[in-house]
Structures are given as structure tokens and as C-alpha cells.
Structure 1
């Protein structure tokens, strides 16, 4: 009887206790991890709840002193957000939400928005776990967004938080990664195949685009490629900038050997439909479980063009390379055949960016109303699930915006903190539908304060590009849809004479690039009529024209209310903030957890009753 009563009591207490809405408690597993320093001393784990807009970090550092983790920006450490904690020699835990007043000084925030979940120190490591809102109402906290985030870690040898540049590290990370590879299926019948250049002597030039044509795996029935990743040969310095795999139309007459992709032989630039791509900073990527690249049917490409961009800035001689792309394929078919649509500014020959620009925007328009004609068959709705962003060194931000019937629908993808050294395929939080007739606009934001001459669009790393690759299903034959402005109009707006595109581009060299003329050029490029170039896998080309629509900025959502925080004027919500979800307001592991009063009284009363019953011998 006593055992039955005890069971009922435990059940009653469990029902009375609050549910822990935050699934990332002090001991729960966090899916993502990264070393933040080159010596692998500073290790970060993290995970997040998109609905609650809460992120949990766990920082482990090989030190017996203090540790700190936060967010900074590209240009300065001043104003950086840093959560600091440690365990003093007497075993006391200290923990505080702080910020950097300047490069060397820390100051505690007036609003404490980080919640401690655990702080431990052993003979080797100090480990700190805490959670924080994506966006608090404290202007001293930096937002966690779907952009690239520059994560700042710092630590010290003792328990006096003092900043030391030798113990501070910044790493660009896409924190809000939607899909983790461990959550995806890995078929047991997986076959691995490498598409690679073999023993290629890298020229001593700054930039080389090496291309070769390779067959896809020969299979007797349809298979799906479900994963790809870079196959890189280590060198003394990183020379491989990006690798692209283009599908070739089966009617193409392809050359043999290895040659310059964009050199004297135009045959080496054939095949323009990207099927997979990797760029510096990226890792392997696995498609969602319902999509894959189809191979093995008469409609599938049989050959690909492998393009490897080498940056040999130190002009090193005698370096051989055998890099490429490793693909993983299976006979276990997915529901959809995927494709890749390339958007942006048509790279040659019109693109230019003035020198000395604090900010300069470029635009590339895509109009989809000719897709069905170009495809040769009806085009189903395009379901976009992922993307890859690409500019070179002057790029600061990119976004792709969708319009329907002249009205802006949504921002498909963006990165307001783009980092050239972190170019990776990313998943969307939801699938975006593009219908025939929609317009797609790519906006690229550049900064050239460190340049004293024009930057032109081109293949070299010191040239520029403005591209976004959309990963979608079901596949169609359209490979790219990109635009460029009427350069003659732009030249005239800048007071220069030009009668054709070449004269228009040459005229840009005559302009005195004052801040006023930079803004005038940006305005003229945006107002000029765009030529839109649409290409198919079989190299069919169709041109149309259009105009750049306005982009309506997406307002930021509400911040999470916190102790001492103030609502910022730009918060576009009636109240300006929202309360932290009750289930997420769990006290830290460093203090005793609290139960609601009713649950506490209920538990106390039930326990007293049980003890009295047992003593009575029931």
C-alpha cells in the first residue's frame, strides 16, 4: 500500500511541477560545435529554439581563469557584447553580461540578459553554459540573426577579467543553421565518387580558373546524389578559392584536357547550369531527405564541367593540386529531382564599383515570365529550400527579394554581415514558392574605402561578383537569370559621352569619384533599364528587359523584455517588447531551482500526508 501511495505522490508532484520549455538545460546535448582558435584551446557548442528565439551556448576553454563569449562586428571590438564568467579559487561562481567600452575595457550591462545554466572548473578546463534571447531590449546586446555572426571569445589565466589581445579570438559562424547533418538519412548503399583535377600545376599567376570536363558516374538505373563536399589537397597556404560543378547538355561537343575556363578557347566555358558548388570557408552539404540530383536517366546530364578557382597571391612556383568535389549517391530515390538557379548581376562586362565608397549597391534583376518558353515545357512552381551567396572581397551584404504582380512578397535570403571567408550552402527555415511571372531581385552591398581605382566585375578575387544560387525542386532546364543596367544611361547621368556599352564602361574611368558622384552613379545604376539574360542547360539564351523595383525593408521583430532593458525607438511593435516565455525563465544551475508556490505547497502537503499514513502503519 505504501509503495502505491508513493507512486501516486511522485506522479502528482511531476504533474504539479512546471514543464521545462527550454530543451537545452544544463546537461542536454547541443547539436553544433566549433573550435574558435587555431590552437584548439577554445571550444564552443550551441543550439537554439527558433520559436522561443532563445540560443544556448557552452564555452569550454583550457584555462583555470575567467572565460567570455559574445558577438562583435567586422570593424571594431568597441561595443562588443561579452558574457563573462568563472570559478574563483574559493569555489565561488561569478557570471555577468558585459560589453566592451573600447578595445581594452569591459563594463557590466545595465540589463542582465544572459541566464547562467552551469559554470564548472576542473584541472584542465573552465566550462560556462548560458542562454540568451536572439534579441533583447538592451541596446548593449548584439542581435543573433540569420546573418553571418562574428563570435568573439576571450579568456584569462586567472579570475580577474582583463582583456588580452593574445587571448581574444573572432570566428565567423552561421549560428542559426536549420538542418544538422546528423538529422538526415545516410543511405546504407552510399557510393562515393570524386570529380577532380589530377596533378594540375597551379600557374604562378594571382588568379587561375582551371576547367576540365568529366563524366558523371555510369549507373544502370536512376540514382540520386544526396551529398557533396570539397576534396582539398593541403598546401602551405590556401589556394583554392571556389569549386563549381556545371551540368552539360547532352548535345554539347566538349573539349578534352585542362585549360583556362575563360581564356582563348571558348569551349572551356561551355555548360552553365551549376549543380553543386563550394567556396572558401564552406564544408560538406547534405540535401534534405526528399531531394537529390538525378543521374542515370536519358534526361540527366552525362558530363559536367569542373571549375576550380585558384588564388596564388604569392606567385608560388611548382605547386601541384588534385582538388575537386566528392559526391555521395544512392539507389534509394528521393521524392524530387533538384536544380540550381543562378541569380544576380551578370558579371561581364558592365559591372563596376567606384573606389573610396563607404557604401555602393549593385542590382541584378530576374524575370521568370519567359521560363516556360525557355524550358520547352510547363514549369511547375519552384520550391526553394537552400541558397549560396557569393561576392569577392569588397562584398559586405547580399539579399534576394521576391515580387509578384508588382508587389514585394518577401526576402528569400540575405546576409547583412557577409564574410568572404565563410561561403557555404545554407538551408532556409521554410520553403519559398516562386511562381511563373514572379520577379527576383538580387542586391549586393559593397565597400571600397581601401581602393583608389575602379573595381570591375570579373573572375579574379580582386574583381567583383554579385551572385546568389538558389537550390530548388523540381528541376527545370533554366540555369541562370541575371541582369545588368544600361551603362550608356549611367554614363550620361554622370556627364560622360557614350554611344555604346564599351564607351560607357570606358567613361567610368573619366569620372572623379567624389562621394556625390558615387551616390549619383548608384542612383543611375538603379534607375537604368535592366537587360535580363536567361540561359538554359543547353546554352539557349533569351534576353528581356525590366526595371529595378523598390525594396521595402523588413521590420525587426519584438525584443525580449529583460531587467533594466529599454525599448529601442526602432522596434516596430505596439509594446516594443515581449516577455520572455515563462517556460524559458528557468533559473540557472548555479542557484537552487524554483517551483511555483502552488506546486510547492501541494508537494509539501502530500509528503506530510504520506509520512503520517506510513507512521500509522497503513
Structure 2
């Protein structure tokens, strides 16, 4: 009987192994393009990148790189294994749908095979664009990776329009060239332990956007430890609803222990203790993965002055207004008693997220929102914390659905340095960490920019926490720790409203807690009396010329900076004008490398 059971188990294992090809080597990067169907592996050096794609088909397999996720103007690679021979071709997308061959084949076939019902293809290419007409240079922007496969190999020597993929296709956003500064493993030697901070059976309301908050107590450490790794724990099936998770430090004295058992809207005024939860400790955004911190730094816990109580904030995105979702998502922390040299800090840099201050006209193809963090805030917080500079090691660029581009720029003495983080193809559903090693001095400026496309919108888009509203900020991770939670800036509403024709003497605020345009009502002139400022702005003639003029004047207006320390209820406010860029940074374009015929290692990564 035991022998029969073991035989059945062994047979099941053989079937399992044969059901999918394993990658031919270890890779630092991988992505599931479609669960159970197709997976992509890759690695790269400064010139070349190697891909390995494994798909559940015995036909042809294709992947491509596209700015907008369509086949048009995309860079495509298609291959197959026929009679044991591997063919991989360099192609491009055009208006006809079928991808023709490139006139120049810029890939190197490294392998391929069929095994059972699966096909593996392995190839290498240069990171640079070696054919100006069709190849796309790979970079650190979000890349739309398109994929498709057919059920049969070509009858002849090449695929034809008859070799259709049908519905076997898709697109996925990926950052192909993540920075080489990213650590992948914890150092060996120290002892590591973990603890979780999780939601507790939160029933997500039938609302498009909901922010749920819950107070937790950190473990009672007997001495100082460092958190060295953080990973998201997302309830199975809730991946598309948990848009971001943030952990904030709260006050050290909890007025009532029953608060540890309560869930509520984060921005409700019912739980006053929420107002003490200001300093950001950690953030996860949709599409994110585990974060291993640099060997030199960790988040301090257990020492005098370290967090005791924390607020777990989860932003739920529920566009279908479902009322049957229960969530237990959160964060897992790995910590050690082996201390590192520096403590880690986390701060927000960007644009004031209030609709009355920050708004975007409808019908704009590229409206820019700018938040500037000056030495009056960033430098002052460094100096008062006892440091002349900080090192930013990772950044999350955050915005919402209308954003098309986002970048965190870095200025020193009027000269722009390389951007700390930049994404020219921003995707709301794929907001991943970008790794850096940037030294920021106490005399430097950081400028957060977002560009928005509102061509499909008929009304003004306000800044705010809802998904259909907009935000523009960077979450920066750095060491050593300084006393800075937020550095936001914007234009005074009195200036932008006056430019748009609002008589400030005839405005009444009807809701003191609401920071949006709908909280302000016009009392005159007669034709406008009773309208909210939002209704008034929606009736303006937002043609291309007026949008352009508003953009120019808006950026020229006096801005103000809000600088928050650990207590977010007491910011300092400073007026300033946006810095005129004397020497903008220009990124050099990669050059196509011409390897010698005998340079075998040139295609190896």
C-alpha cells in the first residue's frame, strides 16, 4: 500500500515538473505576464540585457516593448522551436497589426527548447537602440511589455498574418532596468526575526475610494533593533483593491487602549488620536515588492524615542463599488539586534494635496504641477538634526490616473544634477520603488514634477485623496534620519483664483474641514451667486490657449512651502518663487556598441 502511494506521489511530481520549463539559469529579475501561462526572466549589465521567456504553448511566442501598450510603434521579438531548431526574430509593430521583420536583426539567440506543452526562448540584445527606425532603447521608465503566443509553429520559415494569436495576448507594466544599487539579499551572519502589522477583517465599504486606519502597538523590545526588510502581505484576491499601505508613527501616549481595536476612516475627526500620527515609517504601493534596506542603515525600533504606537493606513480602490470584500492586508517587518551605522528616515516631497490650492484644467494634454522643497525646509531639518547631507537610496513616485509623467529633480547652486527618480511613462497601477544613491546637501533643492493628461475630462480635476482626484509627490527613503515628514508647496489660492476672475471679497467658505473647491461658495455677482468655486471653474472656457496661459502664469505666481516635522499639525509656512533653471540636466543617449567578432563575452550578462 505504501509503495503504491509513493508511486502515485512520484508520478504526480513528474507530471508537475514536466508541466513547466524551469529557467536555464538564475536571474535577478522576473515577472509573471499571465499566471500559469507566460513568465519573463531577465538580467543586464551596462550594455546588454538577456531575456528568457517561458510560455505554455508549442507554437510561437512573442514579447515586445511599447510606450502605450499597443503594437503600433512597438519593438517586438517573436520566436519558436521547430524540429528542434530555435528561431528568434527582431520585428516591429505597424498599423496593419502583423509585425514585419526589421531590416536589421539586433538580437542574439542564446537558446530555446520545447518540453511537454511549454516553450522556452532565450536571447540577448543591447540596451541601446541599434536601429533608429524600429528599436526602442530600454531605460528606467515604466515599460509596457506586450506579449502574445500562437498555438502552432509557422508552416514555412517565418510567421505570416495567418499565424494569429487570437485572444492569447496581453500587456504588463514593468521597470526593466532597475538600478544596480538595489540590494537583493540580507547579509549573512546576523540573526533575523519578523513581526506583522495587519488589518483585521476590514470590510471594505461600497465606495470608490476608502482610507481605513487602525492603531497598532509595536512589539516591546528590550533594546534597540534595526528593521532591515519590509514586505507587503496582501490578502489573496485583494491585490487590485489594496492600492497603497502606509505606516505612520503616532503619539507615545495612548489615551484609551480601546483605540487598538477600532477601524475608521483615516480622515475622520472621530478619533482624535489619528491627528498624532504624522511621521511616515514605511509605504507599499500597488505593484510593489519587498524592500531590503542598504547594509549601512535600518529603521530604528526599541530605543528611547522610537515608535511605540503606529497607524496602519490602507487605501482601498473599489471602482465596482463591491460590498463583499474583507481584507487582512498589511506589512511584515524583518529586524535584527545587529545594529547598523545609520537610522533610516522617510519623507514626502511634492505638491500640496488640497483641491482649493492645486487643480488641473480639463482638456489638457500636458499640464504640469510642481512642488519645490527648499533649504528653508529640507536644509533646516538637516541642520537642526545635526547633519549636512543625507543619502536617498530609494523613491516611490506617486500620482493618480491622469498622470502621464513624474520626476523628482535635484538642484545644487543653480545647476541641475541627474534626477533622483524619473518616469516618462507613469502608470497609476504600477508604482514601484526606484533605487538611487544620491547625496543631498542642506543647500540643495528637490523639485517634484507631474504632468497630467486630462483630454478625456470635462471638469476640473482637484488634488485630493480620491483616485479620480490627483496627487503629486515622492516618498523618499534616506539616511541618516532627520526630523522631516512632509515638504509640500503650491500656489496660494487667492492668486490663482484671482487670475481666473474670482472676486475674493465675494467668497464664503461653507465647510471648514473640507479643503476642496466645493467648500467655497460665491456670494456675487448675481449671475454667479450660489455657485461653488468648483462649479464656477468648470464653466470657464478651457481652450488650448487659455490652458497654456494659465500654466505660464500659475508657475510664475508666488508659491508657499509647508514644512512638517514629526508633528504634522504644526507646519512652518514660507513664501517663495519657483527657481529658474539656469543649467538643466541633459541625459546622454546610449550608444549602440559594436562588439568585435571574437568578443564572446560582449553578449554575456
Into which bin does the TM-score normalised by the smaller protein fall?
A: 0.7 to 0.9
Distance 2:405 2:367 in 1: 11
| 327-336 or 120-129, larger mean C-alpha shift | 120-129
* Aligned equivalent of 1:260: 265
* Aligned equivalent of 2:48: 54
The reply on whether 1:36 has 2:33 as its aligned counterpart is yes
SS class of match (1:107): coil
The reply on whether 1:546 has 2:576 as its aligned counterpart is yes
The reply on whether 1:110 has 2:103 as its aligned counterpart is yes
Contact 2:48/2:603 (8 A) holds in 1: no
Q: How does 1:197-276 map to 2 (within 5 A)?
A: 197-235=199-237, 238-250=240-252, 256=259, 257-265=262-270, 267-276=273-282
Aligned counterpart for 2:403 among listed residues 395, 401, 405: 395
| TM-score computed with the length of structure 2 as normaliser | 0.83
* Aligned equivalent of 2:173: 172
Structure 1 residues 572-601: Cα deviation after superposition (integer angstroms, max 9, x where no partner): xxxxxx534777666989xxxxxxxxxxxx
Q: How does 1:405-484 map to 2 (within 5 A)?
A: 405-428=413-436, 431-484=437-490
SS class of match (1:243): strand
Distance 2:111 2:545 in 1: 54
Distance 1:165 1:553 in 2: 47
The reply on whether 1:359 has 2:366 as its aligned counterpart is yes
The reply on whether 1:87 has 2:102 as its aligned counterpart is no
Distance 1:183 1:580 in 2: 33
For structure 1, the residue ranges without an aligned partner over 5 or more in a row are 1-25, 562-577, 590-618
Quote how far apart the aligned CAs of 1:541 are.
Answer: 1.3
| 411-420 or 503-512, larger mean C-alpha shift | 503-512
Q: Structure 1's 508 and 487: CA in aligned 2 closer, same or farther, altered over 3 A?
A: farther
SS class of match (1:369): helix
Distance 1:581 1:362 in 2: 47
The reply on whether 1:511 has 2:540 as its aligned counterpart is yes
Quote how far apart the aligned CAs of 1:309 are.
Answer: 1.1
Q: Structure 1's 587 and 224: CA in aligned 2 closer, same or farther, altered over 3 A?
A: closer
For structure 2, the residue ranges without an aligned partner over 5 or more in a row are 1-22, 508-516, 523-531
The reply on whether 1:579 has 2:594 as its aligned counterpart is yes
Distance 2:314 2:337 in 1: 29
Distance 1:317 1:32 in 2: 36
Distance 1:254 1:108 in 2: 69
Q: Structure 1's 191 and 237: CA in aligned 2 closer, same or farther, altered over 3 A?
A: closer
| TM-score computed with the length of structure 1 as normaliser | 0.81
Quote how far apart the aligned CAs of 1:238 are.
Answer: 3.1
| 111-120 or 234-243, larger mean C-alpha shift | 234-243
- Higher normalized contact order (CA 8 Å, seq sep 6+, divided by chain length): 1
Contact 2:230/2:331 (8 A) holds in 1: yes
Distance 1:134 1:309 in 2: 36
The reply on whether 1:532 has 2:561 as its aligned counterpart is yes
Distance 2:558 2:99 in 1: 51
Report how many residues are paired: 542
| Structure number with bigger Rg | 1
Structure 1 residues 307-332: Cα deviation after superposition (integer angstroms, max 9, x where no partner): 11122322223433222212111111
Distance 1:470 1:180 in 2: 15
Quote how far apart the aligned CAs of 1:442 are.
Answer: 0.3
Distance 1:451 1:202 in 2: 28
Quote how far apart the aligned CAs of 1:69 are.
Answer: 2.0
Contact 1:154/1:163 (8 A) holds in 2: no
Distance 1:33 1:78 in 2: 25
